Structure 1
């Protein structure tokens, strides 16, 4: 009888220890990464308010833009560059110095206004590229006809 009690205790001990060992193994083996992975690279779209189709020489048009990201990472930086391939004009950010074509400028906000001033009497076309610090890039094209 004494042997039966000892064997029963051993069996119950094994039934208790095995699940604890399995739980410990599963918990420790699931922690293989030393650092928590944080997603930093989020795709984005550019939202632009409608702009006039026609512009006169020396007239300025306001272009309202907003970067709409599918996620938020605080260290993401956005950059703007432009190139004018028809006509002549200047593009600037608020009251700052006009941008130079093909130079990259960092944007301080995700919602911003650009001002395009025509210096031409013919139709004008230019493209704006907005990129982020992870290599994502969007392109917007603008075309203005001469008002005269």
Structure 2
């Protein structure tokens, strides 16, 4: 009797293991690519030649995969200026720069006397998903302030 019970227990365990392993699929569904957005804090819309504007940016992902990398490229279709990263790296138009953080700052310094200036920022992940942000600046002429000075002669 004991042999029959042991044999039935072994058969039940084997049947349960075949059922569990038989229902598994070899296709693993690991998601690596997640949509993302790039958000910017508001920036000044008027800038004078030589003046610098801080641009605060944040990349927001809908999910997270540790192997996702983000790069930045920029173009300046209107005007002339210099774009720098927080660490002082001067960006060259159309060159790709690896972003180490998802929350960072850029600094744009106007070198233009044109009426309008535009910079286009392109953010791309390693899955070729691209987002674009454009910033438009109007030229603000620096006006010299003249204060009234009164001179008293004795």
Q: TM-score range by the shorter chain?
A: 0.7 to 0.9
**How far did residue 95 of structure 1 move?**
3.7
More helix by share: 1
Matched residue SS, 1:26: helix
**How far did residue 30 of structure 1 move?**
2.2
The residue number in structure 2 matching 1:38 is 30
What TM-score do you get using the length of structure 2 for normalisation? 0.78
Structure 2 CA distance for aligned equivalents of residues 55 and 111 of structure 1: 24
Structure 2 CA distance for aligned equivalents of residues 108 and 24 of structure 1: 46
C-alpha change, 1:31 and 1:113, in structure 2 (3 Å) is same
Instruction: List runs of 5+ in structure 2 lacking aligned partners.
Output: 1-7, 142-154
Count of residue pairs the alignment pairs up: 132
Considering only aligned residues, what root-mean-square deviation do their CA atoms show, in Å?
2.1
Structure 1 CA distance for aligned equivalents of residues 89 and 34 of structure 2: 30
The residue number in structure 1 matching 2:150 is none
C-alpha change, 1:24 and 1:95, in structure 2 (3 Å) is closer
Instruction: List runs of 5+ in structure 1 lacking aligned partners.
Output: 1-12
Query: Does 1:74 pair with 2:70?
Result: no
What TM-score do you get using the length of structure 1 for normalisation? 0.81
Structure 1 CA distance for aligned equivalents of residues 118 and 40 of structure 2: 16
The residue number in structure 2 matching 1:10 is none
Which aligned segments of 4 or more residues in structure 1 are displaced greater than 6 angstroms? none
Query: Does 1:142 pair with 2:141?
Result: no
**How far did residue 25 of structure 1 move?**
4.2
Q: 2:39 aligns with which of 44, 47, 71?
A: 47
